[in-house]
Structures are given as C-alpha cells and as structure tokens.
Amino acid sequence: MSLEIIPTGAPVAAEIRGVDLSQPIGDNVFALIERAYDEHGVIFFRDQHVTPPQQVAFTRRFGDIEFNIFGERWSVAGSPEIVVVSNITEDGKPIGVKRAGENWHSDMCYTARPPRGTMLYAIEIPTLHGLTLGDTEFASAAAAWDALPDSLRHRIEGRRAIFDFSGRKRAFPPSQSEIERNPPVHHPIVRTHPHTGRKCLYAMRDDCTGIDGLEQDEAESLIAALADHIVKPAHIYRHQWRPGDLLMWDNCTVQHRAIQDYDMPQRRLMHRTTMGGAVPA
C-alpha cells in the first residue's frame, strides 16, 4: 500500500495512511512524512502497534529526543524517553501524569529551546455508553497569524514575551529544583517555522507573564487577546482518539489542550515522546 496524506479539512492536521510504523521506514517515505508534518502541523496514523523502542526510534528520526520534565517521575520501564500520560491508578498510585495539558499550551515553551514536536501513542481510550471521551484539541497558531489584522501584526512583530515556568498553574506543582533549572525565557511572539518559513503566533495565557518593553497591564491584555484569537473555533481541529493512533504535533505552529471529560473507571493511557528543538526565531 502506498502512502496517502488526507487533510482533515481543518486548518491543521492530516491523516497518513499506508504506513506501518512497526516496520523500518525508508528515507523517501520518511521525507514525505516529515514534509506532511511540517505542512499540516499535526499528523496521525491509525491502527498502529508499536513497542516503546519502536516509538523512540521513530521519534529519533525527527531529531534528538528531549527528556520531558515529567519523565523523571513517570517513564516506561526500559524506555526512559517515554512519559506515561494516564489517569490510571494501580495499588492506589498513579501510573502516569494525570490531567496533563488541560489548558491551551505549547509544550515546554518555558525552556530556552522548546521541543520541535511531541508524539502521543494511544493505548487505552476512555468510552462511556459507546461514546469516546478524552479528545485532544489542536489550534493552528499559523492560521491565527494569517487572520490577524495588519495593525496588530505591526504592533507585535519583533516583540518578545516572557515565558515563566513558575508562573503557570500545573497539575503537579514543580519542585524547587525544576523551577531553578527553568528560569524565565524571552521568545518572539511572532515565530517563523524553521522548515516552511510560515509565520505563527506564540503566546499563551498561562505561560506568558509579560512582554518586553510593555507595561504589565498592557502586556497582560495583549497576551490574553492573542491567546484567545489563536484558539478561535475556526483555527481548531479536535482529535477523537482510537486505540492504536499515533499522533504528533508541531510545537511551533500548533497549540493544544487535552479535554478532561472522563475519570476512573474510564481509563486513558498514552505514551508520549518529545523531540528536541531549537532557539525560537
């Protein structure tokens, strides 16, 4: 079967068919996958059966692996590169990060080199009365830039926002050493995708605590306006998961949030890997 790329029709996300990720992938096929990933911001493969080492090997095709901050606490035995994202408890103890990413965000934007992208492999997906729960929403920050009025574009181009790890409400409060390892960083509000050259907005309510050169009140109201604009319904794709989905998103052009509309005994189990990134430009 040959590779097919099927756009979802939303401004972000395409399904890729005709690829078995448990098998070696040749360079030509990989180049098509990587191009689709850069262009669509989110790509997904249905009906996959990948082992943790296979997921890690596929992630490494996109560059170095980034060890996620949660990996120290919840990784897969034998695969420290994989973080377990799950609401499941065993013997009264959580087996993974629970309620991860329920607010709009771009992963690890508070680091000096935010990751290129993130990959989630769905193992168990919650259902209730035959309905699937635990969707993830993705917003195109590139479509949001395209839709921005010129006056606002001129106001923000060249400006940098302050991203502060300690400024955000988190499902699990970070430790003092995690805070010390992640001092505030200043990233451009208008980013350029390193491979496609496409511009996109980079601002989130919870992680951005200010804008260089602006008074705090003005900065906060501008961040809120941009953050709300990015996640307008016209910019969103909502992914309804099936077990066996392997999905990856681009952390430059896409923001995401997990919909927390389920709880035990509905079980959700995902394996997450993160790709190393670069200083945003």
The CA-CA-CA angle for residues 251, 257, 259, to 5°, reads 155
Nearer to ligand SIN, 157 or 261 (CB): 261
Size of the site for ligand SIN (CB under 6 A): 9
Per-residue contact flags (x/-) with ligand SIN for residues 112 to 131, judged by CB under 6 A: ------x-------------
The position carrying tokens 């496409």 is: 198
Instruction: Please report, as residue ranges, which positions from 32 to 51 form the binding site for ligand SIN (by CB under 6 A).
Output: none
Distance, CA of 121 to CA of 22 (rounded, Å): 12
Q: Which residue is nearest to ligand SIN (CB)?
A: 101
Residue 79 CB, nearest distance to ligand SIN (Å)?
17
Position among 84, 85, 156, 248 found at the interface with ligand SIN (CB under 6 A): 85
Position among 48, 55, 111, 136 found at the interface with ligand SIN (CB under 6 A): 136
Active site residues: 105, 107, 256, 272
202 C-beta neighbours (distance < 10 Å), count: 27
Residue 256 CB, nearest distance to ligand SIN (Å)?
6
Distance, CA of 74 to CA of 67 (rounded, Å): 11
Instruction: Please report, as residue ranges, which positions from 249 to 278 form the binding site for ligand SIN (by CB under 6 A).
Output: 256, 258, 270, 272
Distance, CA of 69 to CA of 57 (rounded, Å): 20
Nearer to ligand SIN, 219 or 275 (CB): 275
Nearer to ligand SIN, 171 or 281 (CB): 171
Q: How is residue 218 written in tokens? A: 């003005």
| Residue 228: φ, ψ to 5° | -65, -35
| Residue 65 binds ligand SIN, judged by CB under 6 A | no
Q: How is residue 213 written in tokens? A: 């050169």
| Residue 101 binds ligand SIN, judged by CB under 6 A | yes
| Residue 84 binds ligand SIN, judged by CB under 6 A | no
Nearer to ligand SIN, 38 or 107 (CB): 107
Identify whether the C-beta of residue 161 lies closer than 8 Å to the C-beta of residue 189: yes
| C-alpha dihedral, 124 to 125 to 128 to 134, nearest 10° | 150
Note the helical H segments in the chain.
Answer: 27-40, 52-60, 141-146, 150-156, 176-181, 216-230
| Residue 139 binds ligand SIN, judged by CB under 6 A | no
Nearer to ligand SIN, 85 or 246 (CB): 85
Residue 158 CB, nearest distance to ligand SIN (Å)?
29
* Pairing mode of beta strands 236-239, 4-7: unpaired
The residues binding ligand SIN (CB under 6 A) are 85, 100-101, 118, 136, 256, 258, 270, 272
